[in-house]
Chain A
Amino acid sequence: MRKKLSIIVALAAVAVIAAATVSSAFADSVSLSVDSCLGGGYSYYANADGGTYELYNNSGCLRALQYSFNSPDGTGWVIYNWQQAFSNLDDHQSFSTQVASCHELVYGFDGSGEKCTVGN
């Protein structure tokens, strides 16, 4: 059964987001981590079956995002540098479309944010 991915929010208007990614351009294995944000209310939900996605007012949210993908050419993992960004990443193709393809979410509050790994 395909695993559902869900993500949530919310500790006193501090939203914690997790996500995952599979880029059609990058083929199989991709991981993406998203750190916390501060701003308006935020709620996020997606799953591997196409799921649903909800976004509330979080235009003031600043958070860090980073993703990596396992190159289909066999050379291994390619890591992008962490980026601080406002919430406009949420709906961006490189984020939301890939999130919908995520099959497994690995939660982790070890300071590196939550992480979702696909294809492993």
Chain B
Amino acid sequence: MRSVGAALLFGALLPMLASCGTPTAGKSSPALTPFSDSMRPSSSSAIAGAPAFQKAILQDGTVTFDEYQRAVFATIQCAKDHGVKILTGPTLGPGKKYVYTMGGGTTTADLGATQAQYVNCLNQYENLVDIAWTNETRPTQDQVNKARAALITCLQQAGLTVPDSPAPSDFLAISRAHVTEFDTCSQAVSKQFDIFQFNGQ
């Protein structure tokens, strides 16, 4: 089982990004600099800084489905309590992840206000748990390989030409040239292999 602490490194980095990142317009070069260990917050500090609800879930080092579900439902209840209308779901989908929708009003101001309310609830009850859960349920390389083979077969059966050993760029090209076929295959394979929105990578 993957550690919560390692997974939370991702989430704990967000404030750091917010403080030092500036997007650059135009085409970029890839950033390949290894992440400095000195910049990594410790997993214990990430958990220590979590809101109480999430800390109680995270402190044993693992996140179970029941705990993930409890975090999602608590977020939804919080949002409802603050006037956010749940439109659909929550529905459990591939990757054992819940999906639901909320009403965001009719103006961008309404949307922003609702988003802010929802994010407050998310940060209080779910965000770090979700990060850890996603890491816990990450597909193995073997699962990814099998799903990729199934996606290739599906695309070929849909009449599309797929290279023998397609690169990510090949999947991208196909997905953009044949949106409907690719999306249909992606959804089918995602469901079959229980991987959230699998696209060949």
Contact = CB atoms under 8 A, between A and B. Distances in A.
Contacts of B97: 83
B1 interface: no
A48 interface: no
Contact of B176 (A38, A43, A64, A100): A100
A14 B15 CA distance: 12
Contact of B23 (A14, A18, A83): A18
Contacts, number: 209
B28 A83 contact: no
B161 interface: no
Given A6-B25, A81-B99, A92 B135 contact: no
Contact of A117 (B100, B108, B179, B196): B108
Contact of A84 (B131, B199, B201): B131
A45 B111 CA distance: 27
A102 B103 CA distance: 22
A86 B103 CA distance: 26
A45 B10 CA distance: 23
B198 to A, nearest CB: 6
A77 B23 contact: no
Contacts of B133: 84
A93 B118 CA distance: 26
B58 interface: no
A79 B115 CA distance: 8
B138 A11 contact: no
Chain B interface size range: 35 or more
Interface in B127-141: 127, 130-131, 133-135, 138
B78 interface: no
Interface in B151-193: 168-169, 171-172, 175-176, 179, 182-183, 186
A111 B12 CA distance: 12
Contacts of B26: 4, 6, 8, 45
A63 interface: yes
A82 B138 CA distance: 17
Contacts of A10: 28, 30-31, 33
Given A59-B201, A83-B97, 10 more contacts: A7-B28, A36-B14, A38-B35, A43-B28, A54-B30, A62-B10, A75-B106, A81-B118, A85-B197, A109-B18
> When A and B form their complex, which 3 residue pairs have the shortest distance between CB atoms, in order from nearest?
A10-B31, A77-B104, A41-B30
Interface of A: 4, 6-16, 18, 31, 35-38, 40-45, 52-56, 59, 62-64, 68, 75-94, 96-97, 100, 107, 109-112, 114, 117, 120
9 contacts: A7-B23, A9-B31, A12-B35, A40-B32, A41-B30, A42-B31, A75-B103, A110-B18, A114-B23
